Structure 1
């Protein structure tokens, strides 16, 4: 198996509370890999460890064959591991195009060239429009971001993530708080942008997970409960019980 990312006994403790407990995660190159589990299972903590927003108590993280356990968040991003967050993280009073251009500017290492006129960034516009087309936002390029619907703001976040040229995209709850129309739009978008990329996502919406994830890892109380394709994991009695409190209840459709 060609793993782009794997962890070995990854653990995080907070004053005696074990939030992530000896997790061995294997993410195959080119897959959409979903990390699921009940509230408090340790999913976002695991994401924070992978991107070094938190420092592991013990264990190892390996990306593309290189140990990144002790890398800084900036160095991990430079290696090609780029994440989104649960809370929308766009610049509301800039245009949609300008948001993507900022991400492209960061990639080009010109973020601190304050002495240059704004028109010096116009060379980034063509690439920014390409990225907006990829997420179906090109018609909104010159709209102020605050005017976008919530679902389109999340699509914009994916565009800014793509601007950083990720090898591995980490999406934290990409459909959280959305109505069914926006959920379906983001589901299709994730599937489309996964071509030639690897995606690891935390997601509560089981209809999204079941329809696009190649592999699912289930966490419960910080530890790995099960791993495999949805058809297999959804029938696992331990997984059903962890979600629903009863082995007699189907996981399908659970949120």
Structure 2
């Protein structure tokens, strides 16, 4: 069920790089249980905003809150432990490990096994059931024992999402999840995002407007580092400023 309560919010977010203002006074609210898209033309500041929200950058000015707590000055690992986890645009899996081993490695961190190098192989085996649940959830059961390098691009992205879900995030930030995908993979990953959003919040940067219109409850449009429009896809797509800055050129 879609909530009207924000799980992540930013107020007056500004990022300057040696006098260049990449993000200017961005105020953003992502409601719990929604799929929220951040869109805009190239150079609009989407990646910078993502880096600010996930603490890979510290804002010049402004405040970020997650689940009611100020996270403005926290480190990326600290916000990840709070349940705000980012999946990167470039697939980040171990190519020569199997699908199952990739997910088992990801499960070690929250279970406390990651730093316990002396633990036997049976410790990892104990993670098998949960790993297979996650592999099932992203539709990769048939590929569980295949090295990740042998997966198609779309299935590698699904595996990456499985390893992200291993951290049991309350909120998942997806950086261009459909980048470089063909039609079949786009459909598969769209269905996956819809499923995983049933019990968590998703914020995604995405260029594919068909995906955005189909998946997202709310859309925020950036242009030149500032918010141009915010609302449902139908609302922002009818905004003349948005059509001029972004959508009009996309549909031509």
Runs ≥4 residues deviating over 2 A: none
**Whole-angstrom distance in 2 between the partners of 1:62 and 1:120:** 36
Instruction: Give the alignment partner of residue 240 of structure 1, picking from 228, 234, 243.
Output: 243
Contact 1:217–1:226, Cα closer than 8 Å, also in 2: yes
- The reply on whether 1:107 has 2:110 as its aligned counterpart is yes
Q: CA deviation at 1:117?
A: 2.0
RMSD, aligned α-carbons: 1.2
Match of 1:10?
13
Instruction: Give the alignment partner of residue 201 of structure 1, picking from 200, 204, 210.
Output: 204
**Whole-angstrom distance in 1 between the partners of 2:100 and 2:9:** 35
Secondary structure in 2 matching 1:25: strand
Q: CA deviation at 1:51?
A: 1.0
Contact 1:61–1:69, Cα closer than 8 Å, also in 2: yes
Secondary structure in 2 matching 1:70: coil
Instruction: Give the alignment partner of residue 176 of structure 1, picking from 164, 172, 179.
Output: 179
Secondary structure in 1 matching 2:44: coil
Q: CA deviation at 1:119?
A: 2.7
Q: Gapped runs of 5+ residues in structure 2?
A: none
Give runs of aligned pairs for residues 120-199 of structure 1, distance below 5 A: 120-199=123-202
In the superposition, the TM-score normalised over structure 2's length comes to 0.96
Q: CA deviation at 1:9?
A: 0.4
- The reply on whether 1:20 has 2:23 as its aligned counterpart is yes
Match of 2:56?
53
Instruction: Give the alignment partner of residue 94 of structure 1, picking from 90, 93, 97.
Output: 97
**Whole-angstrom distance in 2 between the partners of 1:231 and 1:250:** 17
Q: CA deviation at 1:166?
A: 0.5
Secondary structure in 1 matching 2:235: helix
| Structure 1, 111-120 or 84-93: larger mean CA deviation | 111-120
**Whole-angstrom distance in 1 between the partners of 2:178 and 2:67:** 28
Q: CA deviation at 1:243?
A: 1.2
Secondary structure in 2 matching 1:164: coil
Contact 1:234–1:250, Cα closer than 8 Å, also in 2: no
Q: CA deviation at 1:250?
A: 7.8
Match of 1:231?
234
In the superposition, the TM-score normalised over structure 1's length comes to 0.95
**Whole-angstrom distance in 1 between the partners of 2:80 and 2:88:** 14
Q: What is the aligned length? A: 249
Q: CA deviation at 1:102?
A: 1.1
